Chains A and B, each alone.
Chain A
Amino acid sequence: MNGESRLSLHPLLADPEGLRARLRPVAGRHRKERIFYFLCLAVSGMAVLILAALFGAITLMGIATFSWKFLTAPPSPAAEESGMYPAIMGSVWVVLLAMLTALPLGTASAILLEEYRPRSPLMRRIQHIIELNITNLAGVPSVVYGILGLTVFVYMFPLFDGTGKPVREWGVVYYDQFYNEADTVLLVPVNTLDAPPVQPKTGMLAFDADFHPVNLQVIGEDDPWPEDPERARVTLRETDMGGRISEKTWYYFCLPFGRGVLAGALTLGLVILPTIIIVAREALRAVPDSLREGAFALGASRWQTIYRVTLPAALPGIMTGSILAMSRAIGEAAPLIMISGIVFLTNPPRHLMDDFTVMPLQIFNWAQRPQTDFHALAASGIIVLLAILLVFNSIALLIRQRYQKPLS
C-alpha cells in the first residue's frame, strides 16, 4: 500500500493541461493581492497625508506668531503681545497629575480583572458587571465627567456644605488687608477665612506689604491725618475696614478641593481611566501563560509573579495605552470648562488648589474672537499643543523601548 501511494502521482500532476487551467486563476489572485496591498497602502498613506496637511496648514498659519514670547508671556488683549504660558503650565500640571492618578489605578484594576479571576459564581458575576461598566464608561461623553468632577471633587457634595468654600485647610495664612489714606497697604493677620473682620487697634500685630512688622497707629474717625509721612504710613482710622486675603504656600491643601488644578486633574483622570484599564487588560492578556506558569513552578506567589514577571512583560503595552490616554487628556476641553472655565490668567499654578487654565480652552477662546490676529495665535497654540503631546509620547515610547524584550 505504501509503495502504491508513492508511485501514484497527484491527480493534478498527472494532468498537466488541467494543472495549467487551475493555475491560471492564481495569476489573477496575485493581481488581487497586489491591488489589495496598494489599497491598504493608500488608506494608511491617506491618514499620514491628512495629518501632514493639517500640520502644514497649522504651521503656515501659526508660525508667524510663534515666538519665545508666545511661550513665556501671559495672554493679553493685544494679539501681538499675547502668550500662553499659564495655559501651557496648566496643561502640563493637569495631564501629569491625571496620569499619576489614572495610570496606577487603571493598571491595578486591570491586574484585578485579569490576574485574580474569581472562582465563586457570585464574584464572577460581580466581576462581569464591573467589566461591562468599564467598557461603557469608555464611551461616556467627557462633559458628563465634568459634571461628576464638579460634584465629587470641587464641592465634595454630601461631605461638605456644597458651596465649594474651603472647610479644612493646610499651609495658608490669612490677613486683613487695609489700604489707608496714604495709599499704603497694611496687613493684620487673622486666624481663619471666616474670622470676624479686624477692628484696628493701636499696638496690634501688623505688617507692611513686605511682611515686616510695623508699629500700627490707630486714630479716630474725625482725627486729623498725621502729617509725618512715616507715621502716616502706619496709621489707620478705627472705622477702616480690611479685606480678607490669603498667602498660600506651595503645599497648600484644602477640602473640598475647589476649582483648582487637583480637581481638574482628577476629573481628567476619570475620563482616561477606562481607556487605560482596557488597554492594560489587553497587555496583560497578551503575556503568555507559560511565563506565569514558569514563575509558579519556581514557587513564586501570585503577587511575586505579577510584580516580577507579568507586569514587566506587559509594561510596553500599558505604555501604549498611556500614550493614547495622554493624547486624549491633553486635548480635552469640555470637562475642564465645567471645573475651571478660566481663560484669562497671568500665573501658572503654584499649588495643587490654584486656579488654572489649559491649552484647549485658551485656543478655543482665541479661535472664536472676531479679530483674525487671534486666529493666528490659536494656530500657534495648536503647534505648542502638538509639540508637548509629542514630547510626552516620546517619553512613553522610550520607556516602552527600554522594557520591550522578546517574551519567549
Chain B
Amino acid sequence: MLQRIFRLTGVAVLCVLLLLAMVPDARAQAANLRGKVVVDGSSTVFPITEAAAHAFKQDFPNVDVVVGVSGTGGGFKRFVKGEIDVSDASRPIKKEELEAARQNQVRFIELPVGFDGLSVVVHHDNNWADKLTVEQLRELFSEDGKIRKWSDINPAWPNETIKLYSPGTDSGTFDYFREAVMGERNFRTDLSTSEDDNVLVTGINGDKFSLGYFGAAYYYENREKVKAVPILNPATGEAILPEPENVLSNRYAPLSRPLFIYVSMNALRRPEVRKFVEFYINRCGEFSEKVGYVALPQEIVAMARDFLTNRRTGTVWLMPDGAKRHGALAEVYKPENLVDPLKQ
C-alpha cells in the first residue's frame, strides 16, 4: 500500500515536471538565437566578461560564449587579425595594434565596462606609512631611485629596507603602473614578482617592511592581511585610499584605470554578437561589482550605449598622429575624440 502511494507520488511529480518543461518560456523566441561569440584577452577583465557570458547563457542557451585569457596584448593580437569577436583589454589599444587592425581592415567599437583601482599596500602592522606621493613611488621603484629604506621617505620612519612586490611584467597591471608612475624611468630588477596576485598578498603579509601594488579587488578581499596606503592626488593634494567611491569619482588618481572591451564591426553584424554586447553594456555595472570592480557611472554607460547603437568606431585614446591621449575617462570618452583610420 505504502509502496503504491510512493509510486503514485513519483509519477505525479514526474508529470508536473514534464508539464513545467513544456510550458512555453516567455523568452522562447530569444532563446532560439544560435551561434558563437569568441572573446579573448585580459585576465583582469575576464571575471566581468565571465559574469556577462554566464548571465547571457541563461537567456540565450543556444549561443556559446567562450572566453579566453591570453592577456591584453595576446587578445589584441588575435583581435586585429579578425580571429575573435570581442577583445578584453585592461588598457586602451596601442598605436601598433591600431595599425595592424587598419592593415587587416578590422574596424571596432571601444566600450568601457568597469573601473579598477591599483592599490599600493603594506603589511598590516605598518603603522607609519600614512601617505605616499607618486614621485616617492617612482623613486622607490626605479632602478636609480633615491628611496630604498622607509627612513628615506620620512626620517621618522623605520631605518629598514623596503622589500618590493610587483605583478609580473606580462600583466596589464604592471603596464598600467609603469605608465602612471614610472614615466621614462626604468623599473628596478630586484623586486619579487608573481603573475598571481594572491602570492603578492601572501608575500606582503609575511614581511613587516614590505610594500607592493596590485588590483584593488585583491585589496578588498584581503583587508585583514594587508593595508592600503593613501596616495596623494597630484591635482588636489589630498591623500586618497583606493576605496570604490574614490576610484569611481576619479579622486583616486592617477592609480585608477578603466577596463574595456573592443568589439569587431564585422562580428557585430551577427545577431548573437550584437545581443551579447548589448546585454553586456546594459548590465556592466552589475557584473563589475559582482566580481569586485567598480561600476561605471551612468553617464559613461549611456555614452557607451550611444557608441554601440550609433556604431561609433575607433579609439579615443590615440590622437590622429598616433600620440597617446591622457585624461580621465569621463573627459576623454567622447565621440569627438574618436580616431578611426579606416573611416571614410
Contact = CB atoms under 8 A, between A and B. Distances in A.
Interface stretch (A93-101, A103-111, A339-347, A398-406): A339-347
A370 B62 CA distance: 31
B25 to A, nearest CB: 13
Interface string A254-286: 000000000000000000000000000000000
Given A76-B54, A163-B83, A341-B69, A243 B47 contact: no
Interface stretch (B148-156, B213-221, B249-257): B213-221
A177 B83 contact: no
A196 interface: no
A164 B40 contact: no
A156 to B, nearest CB: 15
Interface string B36-80: 100010010011011101100100001011111110001000000
A371 interface: yes
Given A177-B271, A341-B69, A209 B32 contact: yes
Interface of A: 74-77, 163-164, 177-179, 182-185, 187, 197, 208-210, 241-245, 247, 337, 340-347, 355, 365, 367-372, 375
Contacts of A371: 221, 292
Given A179-B271, A243-B269, 16 more contacts: A75-B54, A177-B34, A177-B270, A178-B271, A182-B29, A185-B32, A185-B271, A243-B272, A244-B270, A342-B67, A342-B68, A343-B46, A344-B46, A345-B67, A346-B64, A346-B65
30 contacts: A75-B54, A77-B291, A163-B83, A177-B271, A179-B33, A179-B274, A179-B275, A183-B29, A210-B32, A242-B269, A243-B35, A243-B269, A243-B272, A243-B274, A244-B270, A245-B34, A341-B69, A342-B40, A342-B66, A342-B68, A344-B50, A344-B53, A344-B54, A344-B66, A344-B67, A347-B64, A369-B198, A370-B217, A370-B221, A371-B292
A184 B29 contact: yes
Interface in B207-244: 215, 217-218, 220-222
A174 B40 CA distance: 24
Given A77-B47, A355-B66, A368-B198, A341 B40 contact: yes
A340 B272 CA distance: 22
B273 interface: yes
Interface of B: 29-30, 32-36, 40, 43, 46-47, 49-51, 53-54, 57, 62, 64-70, 74, 81-83, 195-198, 215, 217-218, 220-222, 269-275, 287, 290-292
Given A164-B83, A245-B270, A245-B272, A370 B222 contact: yes
Contacts of B196: 367-368
Given A355-B66, A368-B195, A77 B51 contact: yes
Given A77-B51, A177-B271, A343-B69, A185 B217 contact: no
Contacts of B57: 346
A342 B67 CA distance: 5
Nearest to B75: A341
Nearest to A372: B221
Nearest to A247: B34
Contacts of A342: 40, 66-69
Contacts of B62: 209
A179 B62 CA distance: 14
Contacts of A241: 269
A177 B49 contact: no
Which of A344, A345, A346, A368 has the most CB atoms of chain B within a 10 A radius of its CB?
A344
A245 B57 CA distance: 17
Contact of B271 (A164, A243, A344): A243
Q: Which 3 A-B pairs have the closest CB atoms?
A: A243-B270, A209-B32, A179-B271
Contacts of A75: 50, 54
A345 B66 contact: yes
A77 B54 contact: yes
B29 A77 contact: no
B33 A367 contact: no
B47 A369 contact: yes
Nearest to A209: B32
Nearest to A243: B270
A342 B64 CA distance: 13
A344 B36 contact: no
Contacts of A346: 53-54, 57, 64-65
Given A77-B290, A243-B273, A370-B215, A185 B33 contact: yes
B69 A365 contact: yes
